[in-house]
């Protein structure tokens, strides 16, 4: 009679334990990371012992609740969101058009490239100040300065996508005499969609930061204007409250709009 078979471990051998670990990590990693961040913030505030310089989470939450309940924060948020939306749309349209032209036409690329290199290396603060001096402290100047600072990065991303287009698909469309509009919609845009999505996602995070600088320097309302007022009064709780709330709004916009669009852009692959 032979020896009995070795004992087996169905849980370990079937791979259920690693699957449970992956599921736990996918579901709870981000919430636990945020909890750890808040805990570190509370610990740092407790060790500092100076609520005026580093208020704790409770003080910031109380300030935020009061600002929202009194109606002081909402107009500033809406003003900044309007500027972000306007500058973002204009930057994407202009940057995508210039990037496609540079990526599809070698002569245009050689003409645009020196301008692009200079624009990419211009300090944002210098652009904002010069536009305000030349045009004035107007809404148009604020939007224009944001667009000047943002369009070059969109051009770079879209230009790389235009260079990566498959020429055989374009030739196929010409052979079958597909109309130009349909060819762009069925052949070019699906290939360009990942690059446009990447430019949009990166562009939104940069745009709202530039808008805050524009508001801080030369606008009479918005989150940046409020941050300037809090800086003058050394109100750290107000600075953190307005900054965090607007960051959460932008994060929600990215999760709700840009990430689904990016997944859809990559779905054809």
In a domain, 171, yes or no: yes
pLDDT of the residue at 206: 87
In a domain, 6, yes or no: no
Domain that holds residue 98: 59-267
How does pLDDT run along the chain (269 residues), one tens digit per residue? 455 555 555 544 545 555 666 665 567 777 888 888 889 989 998 888 888 888 999 999 999 999 999 999 999 999 999 999 999 999 999 999 999 999 988 899 999 999 999 999 999 999 999 999 999 999 999 999 999 999 999 999 999 988 888 777 766 666 667 776 777 777 777 788 888 888 988 888 889 889 999 999 999 999 999 999 999 999 999 999 999 998 888 888 888 877 777 677 666 55
In a domain, 1, yes or no: no
pTM of the model: 0.81
In a domain, 128, yes or no: yes
In a domain, 8, yes or no: no
pLDDT of the residue at 193: 84
pLDDT of the residue at 190: 79
Question: How many domains does the chain divide into?
Answer: 1
pLDDT of the residue at 11: 47
In a domain, 232, yes or no: yes
In a domain, 13, yes or no: no
The full 3-state SS of the chain, as one line of letters, equals: CCCCCCCCCHHHHHCHHHHHHHHHHHHHHHHHHHHHHHHHHHHHHHHHCCCCCCCCHHHHHHHHHHHHHCCCHHHHHHHHHHHHHHHHHHHHHHHHHHHHHHHHCHHHHHHHHHHHHHHHCCCHHHHHHHHHHHHCCCHHHHHHHHHHHHHHHHHHHHHHHHHCCCHHHHHHHHHCCCCHHHHHHHHHHHHHHHHHHHHHHHHHHHHHHHHHHHHHHHCCCCHHHHHHHHHHCCCHHHHHHHHHHHHHHHHHHHHHHHHHHHHHHHHCC
pLDDT of the residue at 182: 73
Inter-axis angle of helices 189-218 and 124-135, nearest 10: 70
CATH number of the domain within which 225 lies: 1.10.3720.10
In a domain, 41, yes or no: no
């Amino acid at each position: 009679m032979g020896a009995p078979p070795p004992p087996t471990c169905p849980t370990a051998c079937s791979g259920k334990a690693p699957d449970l670990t992956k599921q736990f990590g996918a579901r709870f990693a981000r919430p636990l990371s945020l909890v750890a961040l808040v805990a570190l913030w509370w610990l740092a505030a407790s060790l500092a012992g100076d609520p005026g310089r580093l208020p704790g989470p409770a003080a910031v939450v109380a300030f935020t609740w009061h600002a929202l309940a009194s109606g002081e924060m909402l107009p500033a948020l809406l003003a900044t969101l309007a500027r972000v939306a306007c500058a973002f749309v204009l930057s994407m349209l202009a940057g995508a058009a210039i990037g496609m032209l540079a990526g599809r036409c070698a002569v245009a690329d050689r003409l645009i490239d020196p301008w692009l290199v200079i624009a990419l290396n211009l300090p944002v603060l210098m652009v904002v100040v010069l536009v305000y001096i030349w045009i004035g402290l107007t809404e148009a100047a604020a939007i224009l300065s944001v667009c000047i600072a943002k369009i070059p990065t969109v051009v770079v991303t879209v230009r790389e996508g235009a260079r990566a287009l498959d020429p055989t698909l374009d030739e196929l469309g010409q052979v079958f005499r597909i109309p130009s509009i349909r060819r762009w919609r069925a052949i070019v845009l699906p290939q360009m969609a990942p690059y446009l999505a990447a430019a949009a996602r990166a562009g939104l995070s940069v745009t709202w930061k530039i808008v805050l600088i524009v508001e801080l320097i030369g606008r009479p309302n918005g989150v940046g204007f409020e941050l300037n007022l809090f800086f003058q009064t050394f109100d750290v709780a107000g600075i953190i409250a307005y900054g965090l709330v607007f960051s959460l709004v932008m994060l929600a916009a990215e999760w709700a709009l840009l990430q689904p669009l990016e997944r859809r852009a990559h779905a054809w692959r």
